Structure 1
């Protein structure tokens, strides 16, 4: 009698291969991603060490208010101010592509202007001049009205000016970024109708806050 032969089904390793191959690709991708992050991080660190960027500084150095009358909820105003912009960086220039300036009183926008763009070189100081004039609906009640009456008696008003910017930075010959910092300037300005300030009131230069994000 012929001997019995036992048949063994060959084992298949396709699923195991798929898992191994897929896992290998993922690990390779992860290694490449980590390497890219490290290279970019080192590049940023090297650039920072070379250029050592410092924040641009904004200050309201002069302001004149010649009209500020509230009649039937209509505010008639006329004031001008100068903002100095100091770039302290030795190797970084700044392109101010868009400059939107707004006059604000008691959290209410009085007027908005768009100023001409300009480039600011290394370690230089520029001056932004703004003139706001006209009339605007101004609704005051409660604390806001109380503060307005007190300021009218004192002849000194607390004002705000905002600058919404769109800038680019220049590193040597390279221009990078489209940043949108917001500058907020809070200052007190005396009312003057004849070119002179209220007795005992002198405008004081005031620094501005900058939010780069």
Structure 2
């Protein structure tokens, strides 16, 4: 008898709870469907594309390693060309930073100016790294010695990061944070004559968000 009374008392509560849960799930499903349709519509309307990045030019005026102390002295200049392939979306780049790496170790940092890129525009940003930095571990030093002997052509990486905002018509919205990785093979200038024996070939960079 007691269990029957308990069941009768709990039944209305269960009905109210089930109804409320069903209502909440219906609202969430409607919101997700509407958001998906809006996203699909905007995608089909604006057709967003990743920016294209190329290491257009590079100059390695100095890249030497002191014996025993493994202090890397460098003077590297790299021009990265960015192209906005979108026809309806303009891009503003802020907090643009570039870092140079050798054998996975960062050795130089450069802060670059902010800039605005209209649809279809190509912009070239220049990053210069000058200074000295210790290399850690004998593997990096051994790789340096090998590349120095092999025509002084060094495998470097220049990575660019930025905050991006997108301008669509009169509206500006926050965009993704692009990461650009440019693997480079650059010949150091001759330590005696100051000239490079081979010309740098433009290299495509990888872009992801």
With the length of structure 1 as denominator, give the TM-score of the two structures: 0.87
Q: Distance in 2 between matches of 1:157 and 1:70?
A: 12
Q: Distance in 1 between matches of 2:203 and 2:7?
A: 79
Equivalent of residue 137 in structure 1, options 126, 134, 137? 134
User: What are the within-5 Å matches in structure 2 for residues 162-181 of structure 1?
Assistant: 162-181=159-178
Partner deviation per Cα, 1:29-79 (whole Å, 9 max, x = no partner): 111111110100000000000000111011101000111111131111111
Partner of 1:4: none
| Structure 1 vs Structure 2 CA RMSD | 1.9
Give yes or no for contact 2:101–2:158 (8 Å, CA) kept in 1: yes
Q: Given the alignment of the two structures, is residue 57 of structure 1 paired with residue 56 of structure 2, yes or no?
A: no
| Bigger shift: residues 173-182 or 51-60 | 173-182
Equivalent of residue 79 in structure 2, options 56, 65, 82? 82
Q: Distance in 2 between matches of 1:137 and 1:23?
A: 66
SS state of the match for residue 138, structure 2? coil
Give yes or no for contact 2:70–2:141 (8 Å, CA) kept in 1: no
Q: Distance in 1 between matches of 2:57 and 2:119?
A: 24
Equivalent of residue 38 in structure 1, options 33, 40, 46? 33
Q: Distance in 1 between matches of 2:14 and 2:137?
A: 70
Q: Distance in 1 between matches of 2:46 and 2:199?
A: 39
With the length of structure 2 as denominator, give the TM-score of the two structures: 0.89
Unaligned runs of 5+ in 2: none
Unaligned runs of 5+ in 1: 1-9
Aligned residues: 200
User: What are the within-5 Å matches in structure 2 for residues 119-158 of structure 1?
Assistant: 119-142=116-139, 144-153=140-149, 154-158=151-155
- Please state how far the C-alpha of 1:140 moved relative to its aligned partner: 4.4
- Please state how far the C-alpha of 1:195 moved relative to its aligned partner: 5.4
Structure ID, larger Rg: 1
- Please state how far the C-alpha of 1:12 moved relative to its aligned partner: 8.5
Partner of 2:24: 29
Q: For residues 139 and 15 of structure 1, do their structure 2 counterparts lie closer, same or farther at Cα, with a shift above 3 Å needed?
A: closer
